[in-house]
Structure 1
Amino acid sequence: MVAYQEFVSLSQSPDSEERGSAAHLSALAYLNHVGPADEQAALYASLIGFLDDPSVKVRAALAYGLLHSSEAPRPIILALLHDSAVISRAVLQYSPVLIDADLMGLIKTLDQPMLLAICQRTTVSARLAAAMIARNDFQITLRLLKRTEIALSDTLLRDLATNLGEQSDVRGALLARSDLPADARLLLVQRVTEALKGARIVKGALAPERLGRVLRDGADTALAAIGEREAVKASGAYVSCLVVSDRINTRVLLHAVVTGHVMFFADCLAELAQAPRAKVFALLESGSRPSLNALLARCGLREGVRNLLARLVLYARASDLADDAAARHYVVTALTEELIVEHDGVIPDELEEAFAYLSEQNIVLARKAARGVMSAFASDATSPMALPDMDPRLALPAA
């Protein structure tokens, strides 16, 4: 306990360190005071007096004592907010007394260090974040995007994806946000695909043709996966946007079913056929082949594509295409062989795109299925595999 005379001696000392101790003690005493109101008023008056101290150290000691308390006097905190930079930054970052109205008027004039201090506040409102992003400072924008608890508007997130989507750091921060609109997420996936296509390390690892197939397959999977998540939310805006932009084609429909994104597939058919979503789900789950063909005809699909998709739906009912690579491989192989037999090896023009897709997937899925079989065999095998003896004359020399 510091006696009153000792406190007076400290507060009037020519040594800034001692005056700073007195300022800090005054702040703590004010915040923890439980006595008469006149004592509280005297403590408040002493805080006001320390605001006029010529030493930054003293005013900083006062700020340090009040900084983290929601009970700190607003006039004192506002005065410290406009003090020297080192004090102002601390107040901006830590004081819970400040509200949006105190900060919004400062956003347009603050420099980057001050804005960074606001970015690190415990809570930042969406309104405040939007105002700081409007400053068009890359580092500020990136820091705010990484704070996924700040609810930014869909419009703002779309604008950032469009204008800053070329920047890999921003892409990563946006894609990590669960509130990113589906169309903006798809746009960023396209930017990622373009970036990978141009990366030297990627181009050097795969032949151009194979790289194109891998990236196209990944982009189709992303498109369907985003659509599946939107379908769970029962939001039709994403699929409507795809239909308007002519992004739904035979390949996308086939890929959605083959990869197990059946809810996205159903939403696509409902949008194309302008049919109730529940009715489309019922037909896909238990409808007859003629009923499926009728639905697909309403979608504007040609006869050959209709028949192929109807077969695929029937196969999908009996297989787990979402998680079982072997089941996918079986279905794709069966469809490919049926097309070859049905058309005597001469695939019609309307099915060329679908046949090319099935052929690509056959290779990819065969590899995945083989890896699964070999790993399962290796874990279950109890004895070494018996291999035939090799004629020494046929052995290849070491490289």
Structure 2
Amino acid sequence: MVVRQFLQWLNSARVSERAAAAAALARAFVEHELPFEDRCAAEAAMTLLLDDPSPKVRAALSEALSMSRNAPIQVVSALASDQPEVSQYVLVRSPLLTDLDLIDRVAISSGTLQALIASRPVVSMGVAAAIAEVGEVEACAALLQNGGAQIASLSFRRIAERHGEDARLRELLLADPRLPGDCRHLLLMFVGAALSKSPLVLALMGQARAEHVTRDACTRASLMVIDRTDPAEHEALIGHLRLRGDLTPGFLVRVVAHGKIDFLGSVLIELSGFPETRVRALLASGRDVAVAALFRACGLADNFANVFVHALKTWRKVAKGECVAGAQEVSWLMLKYLGAAPGQPGPAEEDRELAALIKAIHLDVLRENARTHALEIAAA
């Protein structure tokens, strides 16, 4: 028999010869080129080759069997547990390895092997979750770059929580359109923390000023996160903001001034505990007294509630097409309501802090609109 002769020859063959012969035997097996009796013997021979002292021989066997569904499962399983230069072929390609096999390998492997598993043509949600939970940075980066990977929202969160301080991984996460809004906000916080600790920023501004500037920048960026967050993810984003202590009255002032009314509704549903239909109806067409009561039920002071109601009236008109307005106009109307607009006597004592916040928002919007207009002129 051919296989018997092969086994007898192995003892005297050189490594390169054994590697070539192992590959040829494996290809003949998976391509059904052997009679039944020889197939049984070939399977036994490949099992014996698992004990070959040279990793080059085992790697040749692994590569030849890596893409076949006809390969002996016990051989593939053993190869998957071998050293990296051997196991890499079956870990990346073999259709015989189940999700449980791959998850087990992720749990006990280094970042290089984890990255190989993350690079498989198709990565299930369960395997992706394992990589997100225990994978090193290299593996998580490979997962995010794999278009065939099914990544759950929870897995995105775990990657962001575990590796959010890594700049490259942050870039990959933020570039993924599937990334939940709360993860985007968490990554913004990592960016802000990195900037506030930057030696250059500290040298230019000092620690207190740097922390203040980065905190304000993160708050403004949070509004952009809302725009990129699917309404179905609002609840998760709100929960994240609450846990971090970022869901403040000041943040809600920015939300209202910039017209994020759908998100505001989600916040009010979460904070008040009222049914969604009731909250949405009040925001759309509720009377001032009822809407103010809704805001107060969420813990907002009367001055905040009243200025929110005033802004909401304008946004309703915009939604109905009765007027054209944006954050610049609405923030100015909010200032005017408090008596803090230019030419007015100034806000009441209890409204000064709120007026200062709205004025800062108004000036930010003015600068941004002016910057946008200048760029448009330059590009014309």
| Class of the TM-score when normalised by the shorter of the 2 chains | 0.7 to 0.9
Pair 1:372–1:210, CA change in 2 (3 A): farther
How is 1:26-37 mapped onto 2 (pairs within 5 angstroms)? 26-33=25-32, 37=36
Q: CA shift at 1:73, angstroms?
A: 0.8
Q: CA shift at 1:247, angstroms?
A: 4.0
Q: CA shift at 1:117, angstroms?
A: 3.9
Pair 1:73–1:167, CA change in 2 (3 A): same
Aligned twin of 1:351? 351
Pair 1:271–1:231, CA change in 2 (3 A): farther
Pair 1:328–1:294, CA change in 2 (3 A): same
Aligned twin of 2:370? 370
**What is the CA–CA distance in structure 2 between the aligned matches of 1:212 and 1:48, rounded to whole Å?**
62
* 2:268–2:279 contact (8 Å) kept in structure 1: yes
Aligned twin of 1:390? none
Deviations 1:70-108 (A, max 9, x none): 221112223444556532343334333233444555666
Instruction: Please tell me whether residue 12 in structure 1 is matched to residue 12 in structure 2.
Output: no
* 2:271–2:298 contact (8 Å) kept in structure 1: yes
How is 1:223-262 mapped onto 2 (pairs within 5 angstroms)? 223-226=222-225, 232-233=231-232, 236=235, 238-239=237-238, 242=241, 247-262=246-261
**What is the CA–CA distance in structure 2 between the aligned matches of 1:275 and 1:360, rounded to whole Å?**
32
SS in 2 for 1:315: helix
**What is the CA–CA distance in structure 2 between the aligned matches of 1:107 and 1:53, rounded to whole Å?**
25
TM-score (norm 1): 0.72
**What is the CA–CA distance in structure 1 between the aligned matches of 2:302 and 2:216, rounded to whole Å?**
25
* 1:326–1:369 contact (8 Å) kept in structure 2: no
Q: CA shift at 1:256, angstroms?
A: 0.7
* 1:221–1:256 contact (8 Å) kept in structure 2: no
**What is the CA–CA distance in structure 1 between the aligned matches of 2:185 and 2:325, rounded to whole Å?**
28
Which moved further from structure 2: 24-33 or 345-354?
345-354
**What is the CA–CA distance in structure 2 between the aligned matches of 1:36 and 1:370, rounded to whole Å?**
80
Aligned twin of 1:361? 361
Aligned twin of 1:269? 268
Q: CA shift at 1:54, angstroms?
A: 5.8
How is 1:207-222 mapped onto 2 (pairs within 5 angstroms)? 215-222=214-221
Aligned twin of 2:304? 305
Aligned twin of 1:72? 71
Q: CA shift at 1:362, angstroms?
A: 2.2
Aligned twin of 2:315? 316
SS in 1 for 2:338: helix
Aligned twin of 1:386? none
Q: CA shift at 1:238, angstroms?
A: 4.4
Amino acid at match of 1:347: P
Amino acid at match of 2:86: I
Q: CA shift at 1:195, angstroms?
A: 1.8
SS in 2 for 1:151: coil
**What is the CA–CA distance in structure 2 between the aligned matches of 1:295 and 1:203, rounded to whole Å?**
43
Deviations 1:244-270 (A, max 9, x none): 776443322221122232112112223
Amino acid at match of 1:333: W
**What is the CA–CA distance in structure 2 between the aligned matches of 1:375 and 1:325, rounded to whole Å?**
22
Pair 1:68–1:253, CA change in 2 (3 A): same
**What is the CA–CA distance in structure 2 between the aligned matches of 1:356 and 1:11, rounded to whole Å?**
89
How is 1:164-243 mapped onto 2 (pairs within 5 angstroms)? 164-175=163-174, 183=182, 185-202=184-201, 215-226=214-225, 232-233=231-232, 236=235, 238-239=237-238, 242=241
**What is the CA–CA distance in structure 1 between the aligned matches of 2:378 and 2:55, rounded to whole Å?**
71
* 1:11–1:18 contact (8 Å) kept in structure 2: no
Q: CA shift at 1:316, angstroms?
A: 1.3
Higher CA-based Rg: 1
Which moved further from structure 2: 352-361 or 9-18?
9-18
**What is the CA–CA distance in structure 2 between the aligned matches of 1:243 and 1:18, rounded to whole Å?**
65
Q: CA shift at 1:301, angstroms?
A: 3.2
**What is the CA–CA distance in structure 1 between the aligned matches of 2:29 and 2:294, rounded to whole Å?**
75
Q: CA shift at 1:312, angstroms?
A: 0.4
Pair 1:314–1:11, CA change in 2 (3 A): farther
Structure 2: gaps of 5 or more residues: none
Which moved further from structure 2: 35-44 or 364-373?
35-44
Aligned twin of 1:383? none
Pair 1:325–1:134, CA change in 2 (3 A): same
**What is the CA–CA distance in structure 1 between the aligned matches of 2:273 and 2:298, rounded to whole Å?**
8
Deviations 1:285-322 (A, max 9, x none): 122333323333433433332221111001112337xx
**What is the CA–CA distance in structure 2 between the aligned matches of 1:71 and 1:316, rounded to whole Å?**
65
Structure 1: gaps of 5 or more residues: 381-399
Deviations 1:210-248 (A, max 9, x none): 866754443234444555666711754543565577644
How is 1:105-184 mapped onto 2 (pairs within 5 angstroms)? 110-111=109-110, 113-125=112-124, 128=127, 137-140=136-139, 143-144=142-143, 149-151=149-151, 154=154, 161-162=160-161, 164-175=163-174, 183=182
Pair 1:252–1:11, CA change in 2 (3 A): same
* 1:182–1:230 contact (8 Å) kept in structure 2: yes
